[in-house]
Amino acid sequence: MSTELLERLRQLDACSVSDALDALGLTGAVTGIARRSGGGVVAGRVVTVALAKGPTPAGGPKVHLGARAIEAGDANSIIVVSHPGIDAGGWGGVLTQAARLAGIQGVIVDGPLRDVDEANGLDFPIFARATTVRTARGRVHEVATNVPVTIEAVTIAPGDYVISDGSGAVFIAADEAEKVIRTAERIAAKERLMVEALKSGKPVSQVLGADYEDMLEAMQ
């Protein structure tokens, strides 16, 4: 079931899914996380990384942030890094190389990313709130892998669904995925019909009239 849902999700775009969440009264869209490398739509199941300020505590494991998430992921995974308010890289070039070799779909960082040119050279999809040249070493440490994290007001659990493209990132709780994707498919289909109507010569004020303005309410 999850594979079939992912294939359907990959045929959509982030805005249609965000609209579906609005129609259903759900949260999941986040603002300000932009594409920094790669292209197109990426969608997958979430593997989380929770970071905190400061060096690794005394006696803690000397393993770089994100390494465990790459090992925990697979070809349907998108790694989501909770890294708010920290001016240092929450992801970097060697991690990008490793994630690509592991077949990871992409990475979303709620914070800064570094080694952006390297990621672009690999055409690997990464979305981040900012960019930086500052290393995480000595400034940031990993608290946990695959635990619930929060981005803005959205709580994201391991195994949730996410879609991200040039407009941003949208998260879907695993138990809501089927109805959200079904609603997004209906929205996308209606918008395709609107584009066809415009191409046939119908005035834009008619195409984007009451039917468009009330479309999300009609999806409830």
- The strand pairing partners of 172, in sequence order, are 161
CB 44 within 8 Å of CB 121: no
Q: Which residues line the annotated binding site for substrate? A: 92-95, 114
Which residues sit in the known binding site for Mg(2+)? 115
* Cβ contacts of 79 within 8 Å, gap of 6 or more: 46, 47, 48, 49, 66, 69, 70, 73, 99, 104, 106, 107, 108
In whole angstroms, give the CA distance from residue 49 to residue 113.
Answer: 14
Going by the annotation, the residues of the binding site are: 92-95, 114-115
The Cα diameter of the chain in Å comes to 69
Cα dihedral 41, 42, 45, 47 sign = negative
Please choose, from the candidates 14, 54, 55, the residue with its C-alpha nearest in 3D space to the C-alpha of residue 31: 14
Cα–Cα distances in angstroms (integers) from residue 193 to residues 23, 129, 133, in the given order: 19, 34, 45
Q: How far is CA 80 from CA 48, 73, 109, in A?
A: 5, 11, 6
Question: Tell me, what amino acid is at 142?
Answer: E
